[in-house]
Amino acid sequence: MTPNNFATLRDVLRYAITRFNQEGLFFGHGSSNAFDEAAYLLLHTLKLPLDQLEPFLDARLLQDEIDALLRVIIHRAEDRIPAAYLTNEAWLGSYRFYVDENVIVPRSFIAELIPERFSPWIKDADAVTDLLDLCTGSGCLPIMLADAFPEAHVDAVDISPPALGVARRNVSDYELQERITLVESDLYAQLPAKQYDVIISNPPYVNSTAMAALPQEYLREPQLALDGGSDGMDLVRKIVAGAKSRLKPGGLLMVEIGNERAHAEAAFPDLPFTWLTTSAGDDMVFLLTAEQLP
């Protein structure tokens, strides 16, 4: 079978999976394998329900539909563009976000902790009134925070104006303009003089050795949002250094550092990190209370 005589979605799906496997694509932006990625891209392109592949597998495709599907397959397979940039959407749990090349594709282990409202570390979630997200990117975490903490206002900071443009679109899509303030700032620099119940951050934390070995798909993302310096801790040091004066008594700082636990503990040998449990284990996100901060 060649790309000139496809007839059904099943035909194109099989071809896409083979191409993706032949090219050795990296799946880390929403899917974990060639089948899931191909099914998502094809269903999205055809404007079909993303959770209903089976009913459409043997439906005959129009030629312009086949052409559109092949274009998407080629972009993904040959250009190594992450699927989220091809569809301009990404999902965190049940939340859908607009994304483009101005932001990294949303992925965060902190996002797993938000629906439980950071229990047991926060005793009374309804008493939380002020939240801060540093390095907000697409604005995905502030939107989830605003949902989980209905009495709170969220300040969301990023140094990148294009990233804040994406965040502004997402905040508007969720109609949260009154509860989320977007701030162009180098971390705390341009923030008003206020204190927060919780500060969260999923900052750039990839160390220089790991940066040099990133798959091509990650090189499509803004490197500013990934590169954490030689040990991955350049921004984490600044976040920790400025947090105490920005937290209320009893306030919490949570920082996601991915696979960099060893570098984090080397950078802060005297800090009593609490490592929070996520789907990837107990070493992706650390927590410090205001009283534990230097």
Q: How far apart are CA 277 and CA 280, in angstroms?
A: 8
Q: What is the mean pLDDT of residues 13-23?
A: 97
Residue 244: CA count within 13 A, CB half-sphere? 7
Classify residue 90 by burial, with Cβ atoms within 10 Å: 0-12, 13-18, 19+.
buried
* 61: confidence class by pLDDT, cuts 50, 70, 90: very high
Question: 57, 10 in Cβ contact below 8 A?
Answer: yes
Examine the pLDDT at 281 and tell me if it is beyond 50. Answer: yes
Examine the pLDDT at 84 and tell me if it is beyond 80. Answer: yes
Q: What is the mean pLDDT of residues 64-93?
A: 96
Token pair for residue 199? 């500060």
Average pLDDT, the chain: 95
Model-level pTM?
Answer: 0.93
Strand partners, 97: 90
Q: Name which of 225, 236, 228 is nearest 210 in CA terms.
A: 228
Q: Which domains does the chain have, with CATH numbers?
A: 9-87 (no CATH), 102-292 (3.40.50.150)
Greatest CA span in the chain, whole angstroms?
Answer: 67
Examine the pLDDT at 261 and tell me if it is beyond 80. Answer: yes
Q: Where are the beta strands (DSSP E) in 139-273?
A: 153-158, 180-184, 196-201, 247-256
Examine the pLDDT at 30 and tell me if it is beyond 90. Answer: no
Which pLDDT belongs to residue 28?
A: 86
Examine the pLDDT at 78 and tell me if it is beyond 60. Answer: yes
Which pLDDT belongs to residue 2?
A: 45
Which pLDDT belongs to residue 1?
A: 42
| 161-213: pLDDT as tens digits | 999 999 999 999 999 999 999 999 999 999 999 999 999 999 999 999 999 99
Q: How far apart are CA 64 and CA 46, in angstroms?
A: 11
Tokens 């206020």 correspond to: 194
Which pLDDT belongs to residue 4?
A: 62
